[in-house]
Structure 1
């Protein structure tokens, strides 16, 4: 059996995937504690505070929901539809504590 002389090329890391792997369960716990549009917005802000764009934060939330809390898919879909609509859903949000970091 021959040994390869050069190592395999390194895979390019995706910061969103890496971050999601570390925080998805926390994201879902936060969404379970506040299953509202305001809860999603708060989680997005927390992820943004960790250095991600709002678009990347949305990817983290979507991937987290798909992996760990698919029960939140309908809420996520309504949130996205509302964000893309001229008449957003004004689902009341609970008062949230001051934003802190997710991780």
Structure 2
């Protein structure tokens, strides 16, 4: 299988995931996405038509270091920091 054109990299410690597009033998970083919407906006700006339809197609998008549509714990990503366990946090608060 050929390498995917779009790579959504592992979640950053601060939240979000770097997005790059690979074409013409090179790679271009499109930005840091915190949601599917951000990713779609980046892909539209890169000239891809109907990018929402491509997100779940492994022939187009490679999700590295995390599952598809997982955006990390940052300000818009929701969830807990990777090193925190919500059970431990609750126990400390009691």
TM interval, shorter chain, is: 0.3 to 0.5
Question: Which has more helix, going by share of residues?
Answer: 1
TM-score by length of 2: 0.35
Q: Greater CA radius of gyration, 1 or 2?
A: 1
TM-score by length of 1: 0.33
Bigger relative contact order (CA 8 A; separation at least 6): 1
